[in-house]
Amino acid sequence: MASHRMGRTTEDIKRELSAVLRELKDPRVADSMISIVRVEVSNDLSCCKAYVSAMEGLEKAKQAVEGLRSASGYIRRQIGSRLSLRHVPAMLFEATDSIEYSANISRLLNELDIKDDEDDEQSE
């Protein structure tokens, strides 16, 4: 039963963290299209690690993480006011290139589909 509660809490934090990111005015964060890919919360709610990815690539995600680290106190306060948690976890941010990686995989798969369709038309 506790794992369901932790799962709900993790999803709530991810949802509210995404909402807070849209409100930030820091140019390192606001000027890039960033997304929260995954959130991991410790069992005692003392630490929350959020993985951030950017459409522009890993370097832009690293710049956004610097902005998020400088605003971590504000983000923590906003999450605490939006969620009814006894203890709001400390926010840690880490850059990842998962959006860029998945876009590359999708592009490769689309290229394969085009080639398969052309082969089918030629065989008929």
pTM higher than the cut 0.85: no
Q: What is the CATH number of the domain that holds 40?
A: 3.30.300.20
**109 within some domain:** no
Question: In 3D, which of 55, 79, 63, 53 has the Cα closest to residue 26?
Answer: 63
Query: Which amino acid type is present at position 106?
Result: S
**83 within some domain:** yes
- Per residue of the chain (124 residues), give pLDDT as tens: 467 888 899 999 999 999 999 999 988 888 888 889 999 999 888 999 999 998 888 899 999 999 999 999 999 999 999 998 888 999 999 999 887 788 888 888 888 856 555 556 666 6
Q: Return the structure tokens found at 87.
A: 């203890």
**35 within some domain:** yes
Q: Return the structure tokens found at 42.
A: 């410790």
**47 within some domain:** yes
**105 within some domain:** no
**116 within some domain:** no
Strand positions, DSSP E, 70-116: 90-95
Looking at the structure of the chain, the number of domains it has is 1
Range of 17's domain? 2-97
Residue 48 backbone zone (phi > 0: left; psi -120 to 50: alpha; other: beta): beta
**10 within some domain:** yes
Strand positions, DSSP E, 8-76: 34-41, 47-54
**59 within some domain:** yes
